[in-house]
């Protein structure tokens, strides 16, 4: 233990047990709890404590009275292509990527964005969509040009799909070609 983070009784201290007991309280917050998600309520949600569900990858942080979901540790997919892609005018839900997962898994989109190079195109006419069940499926979430969405801060989240594949599509009805970087980050979990 370090002298800075935990209490260290001085040599010969008569009530050495008091600072050590305070260390155990701190350890309850510092050491991650690992168990199945169904057993989460068997642990006290100490302020700042972390719980990792070993079966689903769900990660929770305690606030003193409840466990709050903050994300997932699991197979991850997505990201961005790393460079601008040129899309011609007239595209309507053109599939550019898809996520495939097992029937006992779910896909959760955690963030997406669609940065555009400068130009005359109206940002609202250029749209990146994530569709559950393929390119003709229901829209799970979408962003317009130069928009960013994150599940941690968007009131419409979570964006969770149970039907594979999940398709990423681009529409461009701006009247001109555009250069954009389609970005989708997702976790696949059980």
Confidence of residue 119 (pLDDT cuts 50, 70, 90): confident
The answer for residues whose C-beta is within 8 angstroms of residue 46's C-beta and 6 or more apart is 28, 29, 62, 64
- Decide: 43 and 61 in contact? Cβ < 8 Å: no
Q: Is 2 exposed, middle or buried (0-12, 13-18, 19+ CB in 10 A)?
A: exposed
Q: Is 20 exposed, middle or buried (0-12, 13-18, 19+ CB in 10 A)?
A: middle
- The dihedral over CA atoms of 88, 94, 97, 99, expressed in degrees to the nearest 10, equals 160
Q: Render pLDDT for 16-70 as a digit per residue (tens, 0 to 9).
A: 888 777 777 777 667 788 888 889 999 999 888 888 887 777 788 889 999 988 7
What is the number of alpha carbons within 13 Å of residue 128 lying toward its C-beta?
A: 28
Q: Please give the distance of CA 169 from its chain centroid, rounded to a whole number.
A: 20
Confidence of residue 154 (pLDDT cuts 50, 70, 90): confident
The string of DSSP letters for 59-89 reads EEEE-SS-EEEEEE-SEEEEEE-SS-EEE-T
Domain ranges in the chain are 32-72, 75-189
The reply to whether CATH 1.10.760 applies to domain 75-189 is no
Confidence of residue 76 (pLDDT cuts 50, 70, 90): very low
Q: Is the pLDDT of residue 95 over 50?
A: yes
């Amino acid at each position: 233990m370090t002298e800075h983070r935990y209490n260290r009784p001085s040599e010969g201290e008569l009530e050495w047990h008091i600072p050590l007991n305070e260390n155990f309280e701190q350890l309850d917050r510092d050491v991650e709890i690992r168990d199945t998600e169904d057993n989460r309520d068997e642990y006290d949600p100490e302020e700042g404590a972390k719980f990792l569900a070993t079966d689903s990858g769900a990660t929770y942080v305690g606030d003193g009275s409840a466990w709050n979901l903050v994300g997932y540790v699991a197979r991850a997919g997505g990201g961005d292509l790393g460079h601008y892609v040129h899309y011609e005018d007239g595209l309507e839900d053109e599939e550019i990527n898809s996520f495939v997962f097992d029937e006992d898994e779910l896909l959760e989109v955690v963030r997406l964005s669609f940065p555009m190079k400068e130009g005359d195109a109206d940002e609202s006419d250029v749209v990146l969509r994530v569709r559950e069940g393929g390119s003709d499926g229901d829209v799970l979430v979408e962003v317009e040009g130069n928009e960013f969405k994150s599940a941690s801060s968007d009131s419409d989240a979570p964006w969770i799909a149970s039907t594979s594949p999940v398709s990423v599509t681009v529409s461009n009805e701006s009247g001109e070609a555009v250069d954009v970087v389609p970005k989708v980050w997702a976790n696949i979990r059980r």
